[in-house]
Each structure stands twice: as C-alpha cells, then as structure tokens.
C-alpha cells in the first residue's frame, strides 16, 4: 500500500508521477504541509520524522492520523532533514525505520526491503508539460 504525499508549492494543478525513490526534505527551510486526501485499510499513525544520534525521531500529527482532510501543519526542524512516516500494526519488519513503521527514506522501492510506502506527487502546469495532459 503506497501513500501519495503531494507537495504543492504554488499555482498549478495536481499531476501524479509516482516514484518509489527514497526522499527527505531540506531541514534548512520551513514548510506548510496540508493533508489533502486519505486512503487507508486500517487505522495508522501518520506524521514526520527527523534523525539524531539515537536514530529516528517521530512526530505524529494527530489530525493526519485521524484522516482530517484539510489539516495544515507548519514544519520547521531547525536544520534537520525530515520525511514522512506511517505506523500501522499490519506492517512488518521489512519496513525497517521502526517497529511497524515505514518512512519516506526507505531504499527498497516497492518490491524489496526496506519497502517504500510513499510516493511523491508533482504539481505541474499543463503548458509546461503538455504530454501529461493529452487532449
């Protein structure tokens, strides 16, 4: 089950180009992240992570966990790179960033451990990428 994480940075429309590549975001910048949709087969904890000398540090966003569409959160990590996590008791050890937890920096893609459970959605304008908008 892959989660679509959509990063919207300005005027445009959503186009979904999915990739299983690992990703984190620059901790030197502040982000406003809006939860725009949800698809889930079970209750999960959802939020963002950073890393320190002890490993992953998870920050749950309760309204994301409760699937409250439209919830906006300001994320500023003081310079630490960050990514998204999801925790669900149905997940197994192949997810690797924590017990029953998958993180967006997983390197195994959709078919190998540690499995990637996130995909990046890219926002583009139709005139910039006409092939993505067939007539």
Q: What is the pLDDT of residue 91?
A: 73
Q: What is the mean pLDDT of the chain?
A: 75
Tens digit of each residue's pLDDT (9 = 90 or more) over 54-99: 899 999 999 988 888 888 899 999 999 999 998 888 777 556 788 8
Q: What is the pLDDT of residue 90?
A: 78
Total Cβ atoms within 10 A of residue 79: 10
- At residue 85, the 3 state secondary structure works out as strand
Name 112's Cβ contacts closer than 8 Å, sequence gap at least 6. Answer: none
Degrees to nearest 5, angle at CA 19 with 15 and 24: 100
Asked whether 4 and 121 are in contact (CB, 8 A), the reply is yes
Question: Would you give the distance in Å from CA 71 to the centre of its chain?
Answer: 15
Residue 110 token pair: 């959709």
Tens digit of each residue's pLDDT (9 = 90 or more) over 5-48: 444 444 444 444 455 678 888 899 888 888 877 766 678 899 99
3-state SS record for 34-86: ECCCCCCCCCCEEEEEEEECCEEEEEECHHHHCCCCCCEEEECCCCCCEEEEE
Rounded to two decimals, the pTM is 0.74
């Amino acid at each position: 089950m892959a989660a679509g994480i959509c990063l919207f940075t300005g005027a445009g429309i959503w186009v979904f180009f999915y990739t299983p590549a690992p990703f984190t975001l620059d901790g030197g910048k502040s982000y406003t992240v809006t939860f725009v949709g949800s698809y889930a087969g079970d209750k999960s904890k959802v939020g963002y992570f950073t890393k320190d000398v002890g490993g992953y540090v998870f920050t749950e966003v309760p309204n994301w966990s409760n699937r409250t569409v439209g919830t906006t959160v300001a994320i500023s990590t003081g310079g630490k790179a960050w990514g998204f996590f999801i925790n669900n008791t149905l997940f197994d050890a192949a997810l690797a960033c924590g017990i029953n937890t998958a993180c967006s920096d997983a390197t195994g893609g959709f078919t190998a451990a540690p499995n990637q459970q996130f995909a990046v959605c890219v926002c583009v304008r139709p005139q910039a990428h006409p092939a993505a908008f067939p007539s």
